Amino acid sequence: MVKEQLKEVQDRIKNACIRAGRNPEEVTLIAVSKTKPVSMIQEAYEEGIRDFGENKVQEILEKEPVLPGDIRWHMIGHLQRNKVKQVIDKAVLIHSVDSVRLARQIEEEAAKKDIQVDILLEVNVAREESKFGFFLEEVEPAAMEIKDFPHVHIRGLMTIAPFVENSEENRNVFKKLFELYVDMKSKNIDNVTMDVLSMGMSGDYEVAIEEGATMVRIGTSIFGSR
């Protein structure tokens, strides 16, 4: 089942790229395996998937040791400062940095381990009260502080768009984030790369790709409902 659903998602990603005149290689599929068993991750792995997303530190810690070592784990969920230490050397990318305080904690723990940590800044584009993340206008000021943290490297931006019936309703959210992404890239801020734009989930990834996403985080459409 995972195999067929994965194939369908990969086809849709490819078609969205073609519609947008983009190279499908620009878009990385992150299979969001939260709450799903190791056996299902293994199935996706056998189909060639290497990027998996989890939203709980504990789940990464449990799954990582029993799965192949070339899996790239993405931390996509809200991260508490007291869990930073455990996850920074397990995840290749932390998508959900939503405060300078959290980035500072990552800096401190990364310095102790003498490692570099790649992060994305999470943006609450639609200003939803229920969501974490910087508001659009807060992103650049935050980046200007975080750029001075020698062990933390900002690679781009991430958003979780509102839950909507029709994915077209989120097109404007993705457009706004893409604009900010391009704008910040053009400023060539030291220690800020802006080569990753993580947006799009099961309900809206095709629209997100049309609007410039370079990573899509897809759970339900691959592994079924949770």
Ligand X SMILES: *Cc1c(COP(=O)(O)O)cnc(C)c1O
Tell me how far, at minimum, the Cβ of 150 lies from ligand X, in Å.
Answer: 27
Tell me how far, at minimum, the Cβ of 170 lies from ligand X, in Å.
Answer: 12
Q: Residue 160 — φ and ψ, nearest 5°?
A: -110, 110
Nearer residue to ligand X within complex by CB, 55 or 214 = 55
CA distance 62 to 77: 16
Tell me how far, at minimum, the Cβ of 81 lies from ligand X, in Å.
Answer: 18
217 binds ligand X (CB under 6 A): yes
Q: Which residue is nearest to ligand X (CB)?
A: 219
196 binds ligand X (CB under 6 A): no
Nearer residue to ligand X within complex by CB, 105 or 221 = 221
Nearer residue to ligand X within complex by CB, 109 or 204 = 204
Options 20-28, 134-142, 147-155, 196-204: segment touching ligand X (CB under 6 A): 196-204
Q: How many CB atoms lie within 10 A of CB 116?
A: 11
3-state helix, strand and coil shares in percent for the chain, rounded to the nearest 5: 45, 20, 35
Options 42-50, 123-131, 168-176, 195-203: segment touching ligand X (CB under 6 A): 195-203
Which of 9, 17, 29, 32: binder of ligand X (CB under 6 A)?
Answer: 32
- Going by DSSP bridges, is the β-strand pair 117-122/152-158 parallel, antiparallel, or unpaired? parallel
CA distance 96 to 17: 25
Options 82-90, 107-115, 175-183, 197-205: segment touching ligand X (CB under 6 A): 197-205
Tell me how far, at minimum, the Cβ of 123 lies from ligand X, in Å.
Answer: 12
CA distance 25 to 22: 8
Q: How many CB atoms lie within 10 A of CB 152?
A: 24
80 binds ligand X (CB under 6 A): no
34 binds ligand X (CB under 6 A): yes
End-to-end CA, the chain: 15
CA distance 223 to 50: 15
Q: How many CB atoms lie within 10 A of CB 189?
A: 16
CB 139 within 8 A of CB 123: yes
Radius of gyration over every alpha carbon of the chain, rounded to an integer in angstroms: 17
Residues 106-165 that bind ligand X (CB under 6 A): 160
Tell me how far, at minimum, the Cβ of 184 lies from ligand X, in Å.
Answer: 21
Chain residues in the site for ligand X (CB under 6 A): 32, 34, 55, 76-77, 160, 201-203, 217-221
